Amino acid sequence: MIGDMRGNLKRVFLPAVLVAGMTAAGFQIGRAAGKPLFAPAASGLSPDANGAALQAFAAMDPIDTHVHAFQTDPAFTDLMSRLQLHVLDICVADTHGIYSKLATELARAKDFVAASSGHARLCVTFDPFTFQQKEFAQNTVKQLHQQFAEGAVAVKIWKNIGMELKTPDGKYLMPDDPVFEPIYREIAAENRTLVAHVAEPSSCWQPPDPNSPDYDYYKENPEWYMYLHPDHPRKETILAARDHLLAENPQLRVVGAHLGSMETDVDEIAKRFDLYPNFAVDTAARMEYLMLAPREKVRNFLIKYQDRVLYGTDLEFLNGEATPDALKDWQETYARDWKFLATDQKLQLRGREIEGLNLPEPVLRRIFHDNAVRWIPGIAVSPK
């Protein structure tokens, strides 16, 4: 979770700007025409302009590899079922904000997964703040072993490693620190996946820019705004440590969350893909960057590396959040992302007109489904 994505979406993606009246023409992908899945009467949410997009999206058996859901509601299970959607529900070890108590958060995520009729799987995490304790790695390995046995398919590390935690000699603890090595070995040995949110968007180190997709997030979370904390590590330093982790652990599958924090230039991502066969990225909360980048460049990148990019959103369903708001947000996001990746429709973003990438169907299948299954085994076991 990073991007106050909901706020951004609401501000820049007013339904009025979405191209109305589009149809699924050109998208005969699997689902036979018939009863519309998202007729207003069926969903109660009148997603008229989005209905066709969501229907085509659903026909992909889509997998969202990056959500944060900590509340249970049958309406959500119903949405996932109608969208034929599988999600990876990701826990985050934070000391402040919405993720304050890891045990509570984990329990809520487990409840969401248990109530999901097989549509959600769990990505656990561990408390890195105890890294100086003698038994840290041993205890964490033991805990992960148990959680894997209970069905967890992935483990998340977060940006506090590299940007917040310090070693006793005053250096920032980096993701390639030897203290984590037994943990990475355990994840690889059990054929699970590491989801690595390492570093932040480049805007985190740059002066405030109201046009940045992350402007609101850093305004609201100044503690994470490294422009205000020049004593903290540079982005390059943190990503170098991440790259070192990839090199040191060739047996470990790593999914770099948020385009691996290389959101401003897909060439940087390509460079890592060429160097590290164990590395993939998710698109969570960074689709806007792909939308704002040169269209042909992004399109060629996604085609060339079609087996390395996993669809993810960073969508939230937080404890106490109103279900209708979340349902609306999830559907709008899925519809927007579908239109951008799968069609040549025009979308409005930050005062610009964006043309959809119109990616070939086999590429869409990999991004929306196949890559998740391959990089995060167990993520989409069919609902019973």
Q: Which residues bind Zn ion (CB under 5 A)?
A: 1, 314
Q: Which residue is nearest to Zn ion (CB)?
A: 1
Rg (CA), the chain: 20
Minimal distance in Å, beta carbon 360 to Zn ion? 29
Compare residues 105 and 314 and give the one whose CB is closer to Zn ion. 314
Compare residues 1 and 372 and give the one whose CB is closer to Zn ion. 1
Q: How far is CA 141 from the centre of its chain?
A: 24
Q: What ranges make up the beta strands (E) of 55-201? A: 63-69, 86-90, 120-125, 154-157, 193-196
Minimal distance in Å, beta carbon 1 to Zn ion? 4
Torsion from C-alpha of 76, 118, 254, 180, nearest 10 degrees: 90
Compare residues 200 and 314 and give the one whose CB is closer to Zn ion. 314
Strand partners, 68: 316
Compare residues 314 and 332 and give the one whose CB is closer to Zn ion. 314
Compare residues 43 and 261 and give the one whose CB is closer to Zn ion. 261
Minimal distance in Å, beta carbon 193 to Zn ion? 15
Sign, CA torsion 139/140/144/145: negative
Compare residues 18 and 379 and give the one whose CB is closer to Zn ion. 379
Compare residues 176 and 314 and give the one whose CB is closer to Zn ion. 314
Minimal distance in Å, beta carbon 266 to Zn ion? 20
Minimal distance in Å, beta carbon 97 to Zn ion? 12
Minimal distance in Å, beta carbon 89 to Zn ion? 11
Compare residues 214 and 357 and give the one whose CB is closer to Zn ion. 214
All residues at 6 or more sequence positions from 238 whose CB lies less than 8 Å from its CB, including other chains: 162, 163, 174, 175, 198, 199, 261
All residues at 6 or more sequence positions from 151 whose CB lies less than 8 Å from its CB, including other chains: 113, 121, 122, 378
Length of the chain: 384
SS3 143: helix
Helical segments of 198-356, H only:
215-220, 235-248, 257-260, 266-275, 287-292, 295-304, 323-342
Minimal distance in Å, beta carbon 209 to Zn ion? 22
Strand partners, 92: none
Minimal distance in Å, beta carbon 92 to Zn ion? 7
Compare residues 55 and 371 and give the one whose CB is closer to Zn ion. 371
315 membership: H or E segment, kind and range: strand 315-317
Decide: 60 and 27 in contact? Cβ < 8 Å. Answer: no
| Token reading at 106 | 């984990």
364 membership: H or E segment, kind and range: helix 361-365
SS3 256: strand
Minimal distance in Å, beta carbon 94 to Zn ion? 11
